[in-house]
Amino acid sequence: MAHAQKCSPAESGSAFHIAEEIFSRAKADRIAVIEGETEWSYGDLCQRSSDVAAKLRAEFDGIRVPRVGLRCPDGSGYIALAMGILRAGGVFVPIAPELTAGEREHLGATIALDFLLTSDGGREGEIAFQMERKHVAEPPVWAETLATINPAFIRFSSGTTGRSKGIVLSHESLRARVEAANAGLQIGPDDRILWVLAMSHHFAVSIILYLWHGATIVLPASHLASDILSSATRHRATVIYAAPFHYELLAGDGGKTRWPSLRLAVSTTARLTPEVGTAFDKAFGIYPSQALGIIEVGLPFLNIPDPRTSPDSVGSVQPSFAFELRDPEGNMVQPGGQGELFLKGPGLFDAYIEPWQERSNALVDGWFSTGDIARADVRGRIEMIGRNRSAISFGGMKFFPEEVEEVLCRHPSIAEARVYGSPHPTFGTVPSAEIVTAPGEPPLTAREILSFCKSRIARYKIPLEITFVDRIARTASGKIKRQ
């Protein structure tokens, strides 16, 4: 596409660079982001992110692949700062604002952050941020290998294969996965995406995808249904990509608000119940399509074109992907049976950070083992039976029970703990816990446990229901039974 005006490049080097390519592809006068009364064109976003990049580059001081954390409220400022990190040659590491200080320190130490950017998001187009140099005593052993990958993005995953771990995506992998994901989404320059998810949890196959295809991102004033619908109708949003609890909130409008521009609603992070899907469909004439997004893979499944006929399915595999269901012995499972889901396709993750493991060594004969249990019908439509196994998804934010169990077991009166997800009609799942108290210690109450957790883990990870038990069920090998 031709520019109406050119934005100067940010000196990112000769290797492929997804942020520079985004601005090379887009028309500078098209609207990139709408937030409140403010509209940023692609030219505006290009210039602001270039300004950020110039300030960052002056501080990088020859670091080959500076890893830069970003802690910032969602908004247009977040997007400009993230793109600025990339354009400066940094590796973007999103840090969720809700994490406690201890969680942030653990993340930073594991990824060996070089810099931390913090910002209040900016006002009226002004982007102010603070930049803290993190003093890494010694570069991690994997730093030199990381540099060869052309890294763009590292995120602590919610994942499907065990404890949360840093996942690396290169610029090339980001391009491959946003192009593969768009086979079903069909996002284009005329689309306006209503954005309601957390940017620190959803960026690689969402914000980057929308910008790559020249679309407009619409940011509502709040997550209240009235504000979401006001932004949707005022700015003629065509797509919403949201969690089930958003659809439940919006369905509560009962059809009083008309949304004629809506062409696609995608539900992600947790199972969308048929009741909520039907209520949203009745109110707005669109049944949300369930999607299966995996940070190691991208968006391999999307339930289109008619999710009404299979509301419990995440749909068929996207054109660029292949899947297999295997039994415990590794044999293929026939349609109607259930097995572990394996995936192959473009844009797979490039490496795990902790412990360091490159993609070629992490795959099984070229296939990614999701650890999820699924079932496929004769048409190849997938239904998740044990999605993300132990991972808990609370309103679009995922985490592992092991990290909560580790915190609980620091309490001197707790001998053992098991954390698990309990179904919730609004938030998908909420954390619950079984507790075995330590012998000889004073009696413990649920209130004391909650108070202990508050300063140690993010609030959405704190168990809402606590049950005291005599023992925790374990497998023959001594591991906690998760299902």
What's the pLDDT score for residue 160? 36
pLDDT number for residue 3: 38
H-helix or E-strand spanning residue 359: helix 359-362
Q: Which residues of 15-50 are buried (b: 16+ CB within 10 A; e: fewer)?
A: eebbbbebbeebbbebbbbbbeeeebbbbbbbbbbb
SS3 383: strand
CATH tag, 178-386 = 3.40.50.12780
Q: Specify the pTM.
A: 0.82
CA 318 to CA 463: how far, in whole Å? Answer: 36
Dump the DSSP string for 252-317. TTTT-S--TT--EEEE-SSPPPHHHHHHHHHHHS-PPEEEEEETTTEEEEE--S-GGGSTT--BEE
CB 193 within 8 A of CB 208: no
Name the β-bridge partners of 435: 417, 468
pLDDT at 141: 85
Q: What's the pLDDT at 438?
A: 87
Which residue has tokens 């390519």?
21
pLDDT of residue 4: 41
Residue 216: CB partners within 8 Å, gap ≥ 6?
A: 30, 31, 32, 33, 34, 191, 192, 193, 210, 235
Instruction: Write down the pLDDT at residue 343.
Output: 97
DSSP code, position 23: H
Question: What pLDDT score was predicted for residue 58?
Answer: 93
Residue intervals of the chain classified under CATH 3.40.50.12780 are 178-386
Q: What is the pLDDT along the chain (483 residues), one digit of tens a residue?
A: 333 455 665 555 568 999 999 999 999 999 999 998 899 999 999 999 999 999 999 999 888 899 999 999 999 999 999 999 999 999 999 998 888 888 888 888 888 899 999 998 766 556 889 999 986 667 788 988 999 999 999 998 643 334 557 899 999 999 999 999 999 999 999 999 999 999 998 998 899 999 999 999 999 999 899 999 999 999 999 999 998 889 989 998 888 999 999 999 999 887 888 889 999 999 999 999 999 998 899 999 999 988 999 998 999 999 999 999 998 889 999 888 889 999 999 999 999 998 899 999 999 999 999 988 889 998 899 988 765 556 788 877 878 787 898 899 889 999 889 998 888 877 878 899 999 998 888 889 999 999 999 989 999 999 999 999 998 886 544 567 775
Residue type, 197: L
**Spelled out in words, what is the top-level CATH class assigned to the domain 18-148?**
alpha beta
Question: Cα angle vertex 199, ends 3, 280, to 5°?
Answer: 100
Fold of 400-468: GMP Synthetase; Chain A, domain 3 (3.30.300)
Cis peptide before 355 (omega within 30 of 0): yes
Q: Which residue has the tokens 């000889």?
A: 440
Distance CA 242, CA 196 (A): 6
Structure tokens that stand for 347 in this block: 């844009």
Position 7 scores a pLDDT of 64
pLDDT at 11: 58
Please answer whether residues 322 and 343 qualify as being in contact, where contact means their C-beta atoms are separated by less than 8 angstroms: yes
Distances (CA, A) of 56 to 9, 105, 143, 152, 479: 15, 21, 20, 15, 45
The pLDDT value recorded for residue 24 is 96
User: What is the SS3 assignment for 143?
Assistant: helix
> Element (H or E) spanning 93, and its range?
strand 91-94
Report the C-alpha gap between 373 and 371 in whole angstroms: 7
The ranges of the chain annotated as CATH 3.40.50.980 are: 18-148
